[in-house]
């Protein structure tokens, strides 16, 4: 099923809202919506990352302007986050689609469960 400009406009808006609210959580919304647009799973994950990068930059600028966090708390995390992103990108190429779906689903269930219970 082909999706039109309206679908992708809504996808962008919903992903942006989720990213701003949940701190780069837009991928949780973007990946399933991209798959519904007949984009293959690995391409959906990669496209979601390309989408959330500029959204995250905008979000961090907004939060920095509002002084909602301290850069000194974020800087130690950034190098490890970048290293993890490289590893994730390498694993994405190697992991079978079936397992990628299962792991992504499991992470969503665990995250959702933790949110509901805490």
**C-alpha–C-alpha distance, residues 22 and 52, integer Å:** 12
Rg of the chain, C-alpha, whole Å: 15
Global pTM reads 0.77
Residue 26, pLDDT score: 76
Please enumerate in sequence order all residues whose Cβ is within 8 A of that of 35, keeping only pairs 6 or more positions apart, or say none.
Answer: 41, 44
Note down pLDDT in tens along the chain; length 118 residues. 467 899 999 998 998 888 888 876 778 888 989 999 999 999 999 998 888 888 888 888 888 888 888 889 989 999 999 999 899 989 988 999 999 999 989 988 998 899 899 8
Residue 53's pLDDT is what?
A: 85
């Amino acid at each position: 099923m082909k999706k039109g400009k309206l679908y992708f406009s809504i996808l962008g808006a919903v992903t942006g809202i989720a990213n701003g609210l949940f701190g780069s959580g837009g991928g949780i919304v973007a990946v399933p919506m991209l798959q519904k647009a007949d984009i293959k799973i690995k391409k959906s994950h990669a496209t979601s990352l390309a989408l959330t990068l500029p959204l995250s930059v905008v979000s961090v600028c907004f939060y920095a302007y509002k002084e909602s966090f301290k850069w000194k708390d974020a800087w130690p995390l950034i190098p490890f986050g970048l290293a993890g992103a490289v590893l994730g990108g390498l694993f994405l190429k190697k992991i079978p689609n079936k397992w990628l779906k299962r792991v992504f689903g499991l992470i969503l269930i665990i995250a959702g469960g933790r949110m509901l219970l805490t």
